[in-house]
Amino acid sequence: MNDRFLFLLGSTRRGGNTEQLARLAASSLPKDVEVRFLALSDLPLPPFFDLRHEKGLGHLPLSGNAARLAEETLWATDLVIAAPTYWYSLPAQVKLYLDHFSGFLRVQSLDFKARMKGKRMWAITVNADDPSESGASDLLVATLERTAAYLGMDFRGALVGHGNRPGEVLGDERAVLFARRFFEPLRE
């Protein structure tokens, strides 16, 4: 089975710094790897309602974009969350996507947790903080790392770049260099 990479773009800006860094990293993947990019802004999700304790309900049936995202997520061998750091954490639409995992877990026919086990998760983010200061993206990375652990996924690390205005991340030499070899552990 070939590796299948799903890049979920969590920015509200097209072609922003995080997407540029993600596409640069993706360009180094072997040619036999299937790659899909999906912008969460193109697939808006409804608010998530936790119905676990509602008698006889448990979850709302999956439909629309939630069903599509569940299907795409399960298709992937590698889930790459490419999201800018907003206020030291995930953008709202990425957090909402992760909230919907709680619903996916309750759809017996999906067998979501068992099917996610063993897949790989990667993080790509860009923040506007001074590059000499570290830690601005720590909460974002920790959220994804814990999510992966809960689902039995292999968290493969984070590519963190710095930039504010569109295109500035390409001036972050360290991030650009790392992007070109970010997926090398895939070959190990």
So what's the pLDDT on residue 188? 54
Give the number of other CB atoms < 10 A from CB of residue 12.
14
Q: For 7-42, write each residue's pLDDT tens digit.
A: 999 999 999 999 999 999 999 999 999 999 999 999
pLDDT tens sequence for the chain (188 residues): 699 999 999 999 999 999 999 999 999 999 999 999 999 999 999 998 877 766 655 556 788 999 999 999 999 999 999 999 999 999 999 999 999 999 999 888 899 999 999 999 999 999 998 777 789 999 999 999 999 999 999 999 999 999 999 999 999 999 999 999 999 977 55
Q: Where are the domains of the chain?
A: 12-171+178-187
Burial bucket for residue 56 (CB in 10 Å: 0-12, 13-18, 19+): exposed
Architecture of domain 12-171+178-187: 3-Layer(aba) Sandwich (3.40)
Of 85, 67, 66, nearest to 137 by C-alpha is 85
Supply φ then ψ for residue 97, to 5 degrees.
-55, -45
pTM of the predicted model, to two decimals? 0.94
